[in-house]
Amino acid sequence: MNKNTERLYNGLVKENPTFVLMLGMCPTLAVTTSAINGIGMGLSTTVVLVLSNMLISMLRKIIPDSVRMPAFIVVVASFVTMVQFLLEGFVPSLYDSLGIYIPLIVVNCIILGRAESYASKNPVVPSIFDGIGMGLGFTVGLTAIGIVREIVGSGKVFDIQILPDSYEPITIFILAPGAFFVLAALTALQNKVKKKAAAKGDPIAEKIGCGSGCATCGKKESCGGGMFIDVRPEPKKAVKNEKE
Amino acid sequence: MNENYNISSSPHIRAKVTSGNIMLMVVIALLPATIFGIYNFRHENAWLLVVVTTVSAVLAEYIYERLMHKPITIKDCSALVTGLLLALNLPPTLPLWMGVLGSVFAIIVVKQLFGGLGQNFMNPALGARCFLLISFTGRMTYFVYDGVTGATPLAELKAGETVNTMNMLLGNIRGTIGETSVLAIMLGAMFLLLLGVIDLRIPGTYIVTFVIFITIFGGHGFDPQYITAHLCGGGLMLGAWFMATDYVTSPITKRGQIVYGICLGLLTGLFRLFGGSAEGVSYAIIISNLLVPLIEKVTLPKPFGKGGEK
């Protein structure tokens, strides 16, 4: 697989920030009351992520190691401010419903995490693709949660009534506890799907994420940061684990 | 769940008590309240809701354990107790499918996902009641008695009206299916107390703390009529005797049980007097359930022979 498409695949499926890395949980739980909010939040984060990954990757040889965190924050905050003004100007309704969570993109773990573990160590083009992959992965996660919560909690998708009027919405799903229920259920579902694919020897099993962050990993020299060490379990073992 | 669990070193007391026996006794103790509730709300077909909710709780447990290839534990009656308690906590006019949804939520989300009986961190029946209360607030607070819709006595009390305490004692009032008759609940509670299934520690401290709280903050001073109305109204009695005493979600240490009872009393008083709605027993019990691990940690008894503090 080409390195750039590998980055996309990595962000969307293998290291999906919402369901696998469990990063950026605050916006994930707070804004996904409807599908449109999920998409809006996901795409805003994607834009910031791609631009900040690009700029940080360009500046990676200039930024001194000891002050890299403040430098990253400055870069990210500038882009977030731009996105915030654009949203306020062109989609005020989305801006109102996302509220405080737009400025909070600055401290989103995904953005700082990708800057730290990928963009600051890799060339510009793969960094951009890493940003796109991670951002789309986040968008897909948020939209999926938003769709489920909106259907169950108000009988609609994207504000279009799809369930009959006789359906009584289970309001708890568009309140805070519902976010946890849906996140947990969808994470369990994708684990189940991936486990099945892994047991069948699907390509997903070829490279399994090493599970630890690259920042603390001793082997990052050999894998190049963001790459994976093949720690595929024996297929037999995977089947056995499933039954346990 | 009849296997043996060793929780400490010997000596052990041998007894023939099993989870199944205890749960069966709780079911028997709940019968007076259930039968009275079904009779009291006969025009609303309360029996159907009770049967459907209870059966679906047992079925949910069976189907989940079947699908997950786990040992089937419906014989220990704990799902039966959960389903029955949930039904007693529902208003008689609730649509049947909401009862089923509540049962499924209680058994699968609150109980089984955390590891089944003994592992659940909050009372499944109350967890489901609060789930339904938040989801269908209108339906869950729609009370009818004898064909007449209106507020529960507790809500009337909060609004400053006078209530008939005698009716509240007997149970000829609006409310959820099982909470109205204090007499029927006490009958069951006496049965459990005499058999030693529960003791006075949790319900006793709960009720005493609540009475003290009401006396101080209720604005009526020590007014026996007001206090009796608060004690007989809402789910306080059902909660104190049957749900706060749940073995899994209450502290096992004796001092801890007293702390737990005080927490319950304070929270219930707080919710009833200063909260938005008239009732607060189920939230008080759930929040106290969450405090149980902490309470147990600070009230751990010292093993015999360990000596004093150093």
Task: Specify the range with the lowest mean pLDDT, choosing from B121-135, B148-162, B262-276.
Answer: B148-162
Alpha helices in chain B (DSSP H): 19-40, 46-67, 78-88, 96-104, 124-135, 137-140, 153-158, 165-170, 182-195, 201-217, 224-232, 236-238, 254-274, 281-298
Asked if residue B139 lies in contact with residue B169, where contact means CB atoms within 8 angstroms, the answer is: no
CA-based nearest residue to A28, from A187, A160, A158? A187
Which chain B positions have a beta carbon within 8 Å of A172's beta carbon? 131, 134-135
User: Given pLDDT bands bounded at 50, 70 and 90, which one contains residue B309?
Assistant: low
Question: For B246-270, what is each residue's pLDDT tens digit?
Answer: 888 889 888 999 999 999 999 999 9
Given this model, what pLDDT does residue B7 score?
A: 67
B148 CB contacts (<8 Å, ≥6 apart)? none
The closest CB to that of A172, out of B95, B134, B139, belongs to B134
Chain B nearest C-alpha distance from A171 (Å): 4
Given this model, what pLDDT does residue A235 score?
A: 47
DSSP letter at B303? P
Structure tokens at B301: 């008894």
Mean pLDDT over residues A63-78, rounded?
A: 90
CB contact under 8 A, B134 and A171: yes
| Beta pairing class for B148-150 and B143-145 | antiparallel
Residue of A nearest to B97 (CA): A168
Say what percent of chain B tops pLDDT 90.
Answer: 39
Asked if residue B29 lies in contact with residue B77, where contact means CB atoms within 8 angstroms, the answer is: no
CB atoms within 10 A of CB A36: 19
User: Burial, B125: exposed, middle or buried (Cβ in 10 Å; 0-12, 13-18, 19+)?
Assistant: buried
Peptide bond into B11 cis (omega under 30): yes
CB contact under 8 A, A181 and B109: yes
A232 CB contacts (<8 Å, ≥6 apart)? A198, A205, A206, A207, A208
Enter the ipTM: 0.79
What is the average pLDDT score of chain B? Answer: 87
Asked if residue B113 lies in contact with residue B101, where contact means CB atoms within 8 angstroms, the answer is: no
Mean pLDDT over residues B151-162, rounded?
A: 80
Q: How many CB pairs under 8 A join A and B?
A: 21
- Asked if the model's pLDDT at residue A237 lies above 50, the reply is no
Given this model, what pLDDT does residue B82 score?
A: 92
Stretch 103-162 of chain B: residues touching chain A, C-beta under 8 Å: 109, 131, 134-137, 139
- Asked if the model's pLDDT at residue A46 lies above 50, the reply is yes
Question: For B68-100, what is each residue's pLDDT tens digit?
Answer: 888 888 888 889 999 999 999 999 888 899 999
CB contact under 8 A, A168 and B69: no
User: What amino acid occupies position A148?
Assistant: V
Entry pTM: 0.81
User: Given pLDDT bands bounded at 50, 70 and 90, which one contains residue A1?
Assistant: low
pLDDT higher at B19 or B97: B97
Reported as type and span, the H/E element at residue A220 is helix A220-223
Question: For A151-171, what is each residue's pLDDT tens digit?
Answer: 888 888 887 888 887 788 888
pLDDT higher at B221 or A230: B221
Asked if residue A186 lies in contact with residue A148, where contact means CB atoms within 8 angstroms, the answer is: yes
Given this model, what pLDDT does residue A229 score?
A: 44
CB contact under 8 A, A177 and B101: no
- Asked if the model's pLDDT at residue A80 lies above 90, the reply is yes
Which phi-psi region, left, alpha or beta, contains residue B115 (left: φ > 0; alpha: ψ -120 to 50)?
A: left
Task: Specify the range with the lowest mean pLDDT, choosing from A78-87, A97-106, B300-309.
Answer: B300-309
Local structure of B143: helix, strand or coil: strand
Stretch 66-105 of chain B: residues touching chain A, C-beta under 8 Å: 69, 95, 98, 101
pLDDT higher at A67 or A201: A67
Chain B nearest C-alpha distance from A29 (Å): 18
CB contact under 8 A, A171 and B137: yes
pLDDT higher at B165 or A118: A118
Q: At what angle do helices A35-58 and A68-90 cross, to 10 degrees?
A: 140
Domains, in order of start, for chain B:
19-298 (1.10.3430)
- Asked if the model's pLDDT at residue B5 lies above 70, the reply is no
A9 reaches B (C-beta below 8 A): no
User: Given pLDDT bands bounded at 50, 70 and 90, which one contains residue A208?
Assistant: very low
Asked if residue A56 lies in contact with residue A25, where contact means CB atoms within 8 angstroms, the answer is: no
Which chain A positions have a beta carbon within 8 Å of B69's beta carbon? 243
Residue of A nearest to B102 (CA): A170
Instruction: Return the top range by mean pLDDT from A128-142, B113-127, B142-156.
Output: A128-142
Question: For B269-289, what is each residue's pLDDT tens digit?
Answer: 999 888 877 788 999 999 999
User: Given pLDDT bands bounded at 50, 70 and 90, which one contains residue B308?
Assistant: low
Q: At what angle do helices A176-200 and A124-154 cross, to 10 degrees?
A: 120
Given this model, what pLDDT does residue B258 score?
A: 93
Mean pLDDT over residues B103-109, rounded?
A: 93
CA distance A21 to B87: 40
A189-198: Cβ within 8 A, 24+ apart: A190/A16, A190/A19, A190/A20, A195/A238, A195/A242, A198/A232, A198/A233, A198/A235, A198/A238
CB contact under 8 A, A172 and B69: no
CB contact under 8 A, A170 and B69: no
Stretch 152-171 of chain A: residues touching chain B, C-beta under 8 Å: 168-171
